[in-house]
Structure 1
Amino acid sequence: MKFSIGGSLKLAFRPWVEGIENIPAEGPAILASNHLSFSDSFFLPAVLDRKVTFIAKAEYFTSPGVKGKLTAAFFKGVGQLPVDRSGGRGAGEAAIKSGIEVLERGELFGIYPEGTRSPDGRLYRGKPGGLARVALATGAPVIPVAMIDTEKVQPPGKIVPKMIRPGIRIGKPLDFTRYQGMEGDRFILRSVTDEVMYEIMKLSGQEYVDIYATAAKRQIADAAKAAEAQKKAEAEQAKKAAAE
């Protein structure tokens, strides 16, 4: 299924790729990418000859009915790995364990250091708990990846994609074996993560914001609520003024 889906995506959207020679022909590697769209996990595997395994929400694999079964089959076909992410720290540990298992099999593991999709197209601070810990636990090289314009193909909340040609830039592998055995040091984890995010920023050309994307989403949501409240208050004032 991976090849049929990948072939269909390449035929329909014709994604361009730079640096594909940086993907090893065999052996484990971590593909650390920015995250602009739901479709990122499909476009990257589509342009590679090797299978890439990403972490996906367990709900995609457990939904009932015919639609649920088709969805589960699709995600399995494109190399998605189900992990229950609703359990806080336990969910994070499960994701790390799954990533290590993928790499120990000599395969490619895909991860989004930001932890969630960018709410506005900018690049946000990487979370050190996942990427760095998996890299230091396995010694696998980290390959920075930049997805380009995928948010224009399928903006958040949109079901039908637009026929826009996205791009993918793949950077040179980063070696962090000098830090192996130090995955318990939070300063090392932060340093590794920041180095990867810097390379992603250079590849993507995105503006970098030194806060977590989850915090940015909360700020955006709070601002939207405040604006809506202000709008309602102004409407009430106008209504009272008209009545007087």
Structure 2
Amino acid sequence: MLRILVKAFLGLLMRVLFRPRVEGIGHIPADGAVIVAGNHLTFIDSMFLSLVVKRQVYFIGKDEYVTGKGVKGRLMAWFFSNVGGMIPVDRDGGRGGVAALMTGKRVLEEGRVFGIYPEGTRSPDGRLYRGRTGVARLAMMTGAPVVPFAMVGTDRIQPSGAGMPHIARFTVRFGAPLDFSRYEGMDRDRYVLRSVADEVMAEIMRLSGQEYVDVYATKVKAA
């Protein structure tokens, strides 16, 4: 009940302050497993997405967000886990990707909404980067449809490195569900995985209007 009340209050505050435009929200089914996959511009993308979608959206997040100490640490842990729908996973090391994938699979098998950013990290410059194949594997392992979405303008609200967010309008745009059931049982075929991931990214690019770069964003950041 507390989670519902806090989410309702924050949703009202968001609508008053930022006046978001939400397009295509009807593409998210009222029940059943669904993957929502989109671009990632800034830290607050997940929170805004959770507030515009009526159903609880679950995300993978760094476990450091819920391991803080003291009253502040406990409050942040409760907020990220209950309002933001974040599931903490240690993503460092060789097993981090597998843990994230299996967590997403479990969420979908429970008939819930799982949110994923195929780029794997926030865009370093506002462009859309090559998607990783985790979204494809999840779709093929679970049979869940993929609803692409685009966050537009959230980078103006909280630019990289900024502290407090600025007041500005933003748009969340959802596309029609993508069905990849034709690839059932092919989740280990790397060519199929690449094709599915690219199809998802093409839809995200169409919705966001971003320039596409066929390179992983992590490589650009490392350089």
- In the superposition, the TM-score normalised over structure 2's length comes to 0.94
Shift of 1:7: 2.9
For 2:102 and 2:15, locate their aligned partners in 1 and report how far apart those are by CA, in whole Å. Answer: 32
Aligned to 1:186: 190
Segments of 4+ moved more than 4 angstroms: none
How many residues get paired?
A: 217
For 1:69 and 1:28, locate their aligned partners in 2 and report how far apart those are by CA, in whole Å. Answer: 30
Conserved? CA contact 1:6–1:42, under 8 Å:
no
Question: Any idea what SS the aligned residue of 2:166 has?
Answer: coil
The alignment status of 1:82 with 2:82, answered yes or no, reads no
For 1:25 and 1:95, locate their aligned partners in 2 and report how far apart those are by CA, in whole Å. Answer: 25
Shift of 1:148: 0.3
Aligned to 2:68: 63
Aligned match for 2:127, one of 96, 108, 122: 122
Shift of 1:64: 1.3
Aligned match for 1:213, one of 208, 217, 220: 217
User: What does the per-residue CA deviation read over 1:164-199, in whole Å, with 9 as the maximum and x for residues that have no partner?
Assistant: 111111000000011111111111110000000000
Q: Which sections of structure 1, spanning at least 5 residues, go unmatched?
A: 220-244
For 2:153 and 2:60, locate their aligned partners in 1 and report how far apart those are by CA, in whole Å. Answer: 22
Conserved? CA contact 1:10–1:46, under 8 Å:
no
| Structure with larger Rg | 1
The alignment status of 1:29 with 2:34, answered yes or no, reads yes
Aligned to 1:238: none
For 1:11 and 1:134, locate their aligned partners in 2 and report how far apart those are by CA, in whole Å. Answer: 36
1:1-244 equivalence runs, <5 A: 1=3, 2-76=7-81, 77-88=83-94, 90-128=95-133, 130-219=134-223
Conserved? CA contact 1:6–1:45, under 8 Å:
no
For 1:191 and 1:161, locate their aligned partners in 2 and report how far apart those are by CA, in whole Å. Answer: 37
Q: Which sections of structure 2, spanning at least 5 residues, go unmatched?
A: none
Question: Any idea what SS the aligned residue of 2:36 has?
Answer: strand
Question: Any idea what SS the aligned residue of 2:151 has?
Answer: strand
CA RMSD of aligned residues (A): 1.0
For 1:183 and 1:10, locate their aligned partners in 2 and report how far apart those are by CA, in whole Å. Answer: 40
Question: Any idea what SS the aligned residue of 1:25 has?
Answer: coil
Shift of 1:67: 1.8
Aligned to 1:235: none
Shift of 1:73: 1.2
Worse overlay, 177-186 or 117-126? 177-186
Aligned to 1:242: none
Shift of 1:78: 1.7
Aligned to 1:237: none
